[in-house]
Amino acid sequence: MKILIATDKPFAKIAVDGIRKEVEAAGYELALLEKYTEKQQLLDAVADANAVIIRSDIIDAEVLAAAKNLKIVVRAGAGYDNVDLDAATKADVCVMNTPGQNANAVAELALGMMIYAVRNMFNGTSGTELLGKKLGIHAYGNVGRNVARIAKGFGMEVYAFDPFCPDEVIEKDGVKPLASAEELYSTCQVVSLHIPATAETKNSINFELLNKMPKGALLANTARKEVINEADMEKLFEARADFKYVTDIMPSNHEAMSKYADRYFSTPKKMGAQTAEANINAGIAAAKQIVDFFQTGNEKFRVNKK
Ligand code: 3PG
């Protein structure tokens, strides 16, 4: 049985060592493809793999067709918008994620980026503090919950909107649930985005919604660039000199946005989950899920239809 780690953005070495231990303890073989530059390298590497561990790596119909022996793909992380789920189902490949395993790392970065923004990108001028500010968490999943926990430590007043999460769950954390995205954005000076990129959410963070935010608004995006209406974001930056945007996913209009260097920042490469701890947690969970899938048929974290 051959398990391939295919990561354009590599895990920390300690995580790869941990994955290897799990894989070899089960009597399987580990193959490693890191920092690949051409899709062909991925197509070649999957050719004889029975399982693949990926991060934001694209698994489309072409990759699935090249992977004749493939039975399972585990996205070591939360979002699986990089995998063609229908094509995987057709190819009889099980797709899983590892929910929650990298959530704290992403949440810590979200707060770090907020501080960077309110301190004027560390440019030496006088900024503001997070204490007492209203923070809106858009989607109360694993990352959102960790953001709430940390933000409360900063003394922020925390609100959340999540149509899929019961109010009681949000309230139990000392967070105030709001009934709509409109209410969240008009209430909170700082909004932290944690919605997945789906057909419904793509481009949904638009001018109308963002313009509801109070004066001195800050949007922190550690989710996906696709959920932002980028043309609207430019329009908003022109209309509102008080608006700040920090993102861990470089937008397609990064160059145009870069003229607002005092209130726009993007990491050069998504690094929310780039910690040794997150790599270990997500990578080893992925390896364990694969071993369990082959040994017992466990499909608990399956995200595609059968
Ligand atoms: C996720 O969906 O888990 C995060 O966006 C992290 O993605 P990455 O593994 O590509 O850094």
Query: Is the domain of 253 the same as that of 159?
Result: yes
The position carrying tokens 């270990």 is 280
Query: Is the domain of 135 the same as that of 79?
Result: no
Q: How far does the centroid of ligand 1 lie from the alpha carbon of residue 225, in Å?
A: 12
Is 49 inside a domain boundary? yes
Q: How far does the centroid of ligand 1 lie from the alpha carbon of residue 56, in Å?
A: 6
Is 303 inside a domain boundary? no
> What is the position in ligand 1's atom list of the atom closest to the CA of 224?
5
Query: Is the domain of 261 the same as that of 125?
Result: yes
Whether the Cβ atoms of residue 93 and residue 290 lie closer than 8 Å to each other: no
Ligand 1 contacts CB of residue 18 (under 6 A): no
Q: What is the pLDDT of residue 202?
A: 98
User: Which residue has the least CA distance to atom 9 on ligand 1?
Assistant: 55
Query: Is the domain of 50 the same as that of 156?
Result: no
Query: Is the domain of 41 the same as that of 122?
Result: no
Ligand 1 contacts CB of residue 78 (under 6 A): yes
Rounded Cα distance, 10 and 297, in Å: 28
Is 14 inside a domain boundary? yes
Q: What is the pLDDT of residue 94?
A: 98
Is 301 inside a domain boundary? no
Rounded Cα distance, 157 and 293, in Å: 42
Query: Is the domain of 113 the same as that of 216?
Result: yes
- Convert the pLDDT of each residue in 63-74 to its tens digit: 999 999 999 999
- Compute how many other C-beta atoms are within 10 angstroms of the C-beta atom of residue 245: 22
Query: Is the domain of 37 the same as that of 12?
Result: yes
Rounded to the nearest integer, the mean pLDDT of the chain is 98
Query: Is the domain of 118 the same as that of 252?
Result: yes
Q: What is the pLDDT of residue 222?
A: 98
Domain that holds residue 135: 103-266
Helix (H) or strand (E) holding 160: strand 157-161
- Convert the pLDDT of each residue in 76-133 to its tens digit: 999 999 999 999 999 999 999 999 999 999 999 999 999 999 999 999 999 999 999 9
Ligand 1 contacts CB of residue 188 (under 6 A): no
- What is the domain count for the chain? 2
Is 306 inside a domain boundary? no
Q: Residue 190: beta bridge partners?
A: 135, 218
Ligand 1 contacts CB of residue 272 (under 6 A): yes
- Convert the pLDDT of each residue in 282-303 to its tens digit: 999 999 999 999 999 999 999 9
Look up the pTM and report it: 0.97
Whether the Cβ atoms of residue 276 and residue 298 lie closer than 8 Å to each other: no
Query: Is the domain of 27 the same as that of 8?
Result: yes
Is 74 inside a domain boundary? yes
Q: What is the CATH number of the domain that holds 170?
A: 3.40.50.720
Collect contacts of 131-134 with beta carbons under 8 A, ≥24 apart: 131/155, 131/156, 132/156, 132/157, 133/157, 133/189, 133/190, 134/159, 134/187, 134/188, 134/189, 134/190
Helix (H, G, I), strand (E, B) or coil at 210: helix
> What is the position in ligand 1's atom list of the atom closest to the CA of 77?
3
Ligand 1 contacts CB of residue 273 (under 6 A): yes
Query: Is the domain of 32 the same as that of 73?
Result: yes
